[in-house]
Amino acid sequence: MDKPKVVIEYAKLSSELLDLFDNTFPTGVIGKTVRYPNSKGEIVTAVRLETESTSYLVKLSTRAKEILTDEDLDALIRSSTKSKGAEEEEEAEEEAEEETEDDPRKASTDDED
């Protein structure tokens, strides 16, 4: 049997759910958010919170939306949906670029002509 799914505002969480929220996201929710359109067509930002009996979608407050711009949220969503292989590939590319910058022998020689 599937768990009931509940959409709830962060401000309306019970003290028990607030404790669970804090334990689930001890370093914050950045990179763990989801976005979806509500019935009015507005984009809602939320995080998933699971208990043994219920699956919650906790809507973030307007204050959180003011702090994070749409571009920030889009970047967070893109980074949270990347595959592990894509992340490892991107990290390897960044490391290779750093090595090239640090080692003048590996740097481009465009100005030597």
Torsion of CA 7, 13, 17, 22, to 10 degrees: 100
Question: Which pLDDT score is estimated for 58?
Answer: 93
State residue 60's pLDDT score. Answer: 87
Long-range contacts of 35-38 (CB under 8 A, 24+ apart): 35/73, 35/77
Write the pLDDT tens digit of every residue in 13-59. Answer: 999 999 999 899 888 888 889 998 888 888 889 999 999 999 999 99
What is the average pLDDT score of the chain? 75
Cα dihedral sign, 27-30-34-38: positive
